[in-house]
Structure 1
Amino acid sequence: MARKAKNLLVELSRQGPHRVLRGDLALVGMPGLVCTPESGLGLPAVAFGHGWLQPPSRYHGLLRHLASWGVVAAAPATHAGPLGSHRLLAADLQTTLDVCVGVRLGDGAISVDPGKLGLAGHSTGGGSAVLAAAANPKVRAVATLAAAQTRPFATDAARGCSMPGLHLVGGRDVVAPPVANAELIAEAWSGPAQVRTLPKASHLGFTEGRHWSGLLVAGKAESATHKAAKALLTAFFLVHLAGQRDYLPLLETPFKSADITFDNTLEDPVDQSA
């Protein structure tokens, strides 16, 4: 099992088989970024919430990676200022999913299955993803990266989340310490939840490139953190949204680079491939 999981980790850390298209959510009335496979009907979709002061472009590689494995990935660019609203970003994440479902993407060769919707986010965007998930019964899976507390509290909203949750945290994160944020969210989660600690990851390790916010927020882009996050989020959404159970061993196996530090995953993921 461990050897198979390591092979899957390597496989899913690489680009998938699909050619990726990039689009602008502004074309449908909301600023933001969307990445899709070149074609495909009934695809899963994930809306991604940016962290405090972070533009969606800092997650472009992750969005492209998900799309290369057959998942439509979109990130609204709203509420990116220092006083951005967590509650309103959560609402925009829900709107982003509605757009993915209601609009034929690409040249009409791409559609999203309304039964295969997920949410994800980094820092306060992760907290906003939890807020959005608690308010939307159509969401089937939620993943967070270095989740930070929000107002309303993500820890309170987690009690209303019965879908599977995956929470990745950084062992060197001094902005959103795991015990004070992601672990509390996971402990309050009403459905199956798992926390994985990336021991060498900082708070901004999940972002890409350089940005002026690095003067205010600790950490910087880290390739090893990107590799682990891409593989784990891809496996998580392929299993729980697309029903591709072949990738389940990766979610069940701890790694030195991504140890399981909390796990109440008692339920088997539902096979949605039928």
Structure 2
Amino acid sequence: MAENVKNLIARLGRPGPYDVRVGDLGVAGLPGRVYVPVNGSGGAGRTGRKKRTSVPGLVFAHDWRISADAYHVTLRNLASWGIAVAAPDTETGFRPDHRGFAADLESSLTILAGVKLGDGATVVDVNRLYLAGHGMGAGAAVLTATGRPVTSPGSGDTPSLAGVIAVYPSDTTPSCYEAARVVEAPALVLDAGRPGSVPTGNAGRLAANWRGPVGYRNILKGSPAGFSEPVLRKVGLGGAGLEFAVQDLIRALIIGFIAGDGAVDTREAKAFTPLHRFGADLPDIKGTSTATRRELFESFPEFFDPGEKLQDAILHR
């Protein structure tokens, strides 16, 4: 791995240059939390009309049977790099409504793009909006992304989606895998290298089906329940332990994906660009492996060719 990428991952896994203020999303009519970057030396803020500072915005969706508070350290870390984060705390029951959760994520995007943050001097840039989620929340984020316009040079004042980050996505109803076929926004899809005891989803299929540019990365020491922070829940759902290093890595990859698009700090956008690449252009990063869309498709059971496998085994024995 190139030394500069290694250093970037280490830097982005730590808190960034902004102080963070935590607020209540319920003030806007939806249960949850809001994390707002304030008083920092980073370059995420851009002065726009009425001399207000605009920052990128991200809506984060929680996993099954868990609240937004289970990601407090992660969400605070994202905000410390200049990203305003909204985390709705809905559909936490045993039988969640995935379509309803996706609607709540849509509402959260609308709230982020339409309200003043902090002391009123900060707003979210409507062309720097991102969706992210873990497990069930990742699948719901994909459902939300369908039909949303993608950020482009001509987006103007129309709210548009700049990217989607899916961490260990789970199955949803309707299918997030089918929804991925129509999502044109760039995506980062992270897969768990270690299986859990509870059936989850298929990150490889999600990435292979993605219509827009996609980067697939397997977190070799990650387990499906390992990204959330409550230890007792992780032990109960899949035997995940203290995955602090893995959590730091995933936080760095999320921030790097956004920063590499120039959304966090235009002064360092070029340095972060390797973390916003797709397919075969993804850089090597310790503790992860990558696969192209074609490699993912070829790994699916429906594309298995026993004759080809036998021939390959004979040629390489």
Q: TM above 0.5, one fold?
A: yes
Q: Per-residue CA shift, 1:48-103, capped at 9, x if unaligned?
A: 11000111011111111111111111110000111111111111111101111111
Contact 1:204 1:221 in 2 (8 A): no
> Which of the pair has more CA radius of gyration?
2
Match of 2:71 in 1: 59
- 1:166 aligned onto 2:178: no
Match of 1:153 in 2: 175
- 1:194 aligned onto 2:206: no
Match of 1:112 in 2: 124
Question: Please, which of 132, 144, 168 is the counterpart of residue 166 of structure 2?
Answer: 144
Residue type matched to 1:91 in 2? A
Match of 1:42 in 2: 54
**Deviant stretches of 4+, over 6 Å:** none
Q: How many residues align?
A: 262
**Alpha-carbon distance in 2 for matches of 1:132, 1:76:** 13
Where structure 1 has 5 or more consecutive residues not aligned to the other structure, the ranges are: 265-274
**Alpha-carbon distance in 1 for matches of 2:239, 2:167:** 15
| TM-score, normalisation: structure 1 | 0.90
- 1:70 aligned onto 2:82: yes
- 1:15 aligned onto 2:15: yes
Residue type matched to 1:19 in 2? D
Q: Report the identity percentage.
A: 38
Match of 1:261 in 2: 291
Residue type matched to 2:18 in 1? H
**Alpha-carbon distance in 1 for matches of 2:248, 2:33:** 21
Contact 1:45 1:72 in 2 (8 A): yes
Cα gap change, 1:26 to 1:211, in 2 (>3 Å):
farther
Cα-Cα RMSD: 1.8
Match of 2:6 in 1: 6
- Greater displacement, 238-247 / 112-121: 238-247
| TM-score, normalisation: structure 2 | 0.78
DSSP 3-state at the match of 1:136: coil
**Alpha-carbon distance in 2 for matches of 1:205, 1:256:** 18
Where structure 2 has 5 or more consecutive residues not aligned to the other structure, the ranges are: 40-44, 46-52, 150-159, 277-281, 295-317
Question: Please, which of 234, 238, 245 is the counterpart of residue 255 of structure 2?
Answer: 234
Match of 2:144 in 1: 132
Match of 1:209 in 2: 230
Cα gap change, 1:254 to 1:198, in 2 (>3 Å):
same
Residue type matched to 1:205 in 2? G
Question: Please, which of 256, 261, 270 is the counterpart of residue 245 of structure 1?
Answer: 270
Report deviation, 1:203.
1.0
Report deviation, 1:170.
1.2
Contact 1:20 1:64 in 2 (8 A): yes
Residue type matched to 1:28 in 2? A
**Alpha-carbon distance in 1 for matches of 2:199, 2:131:** 19
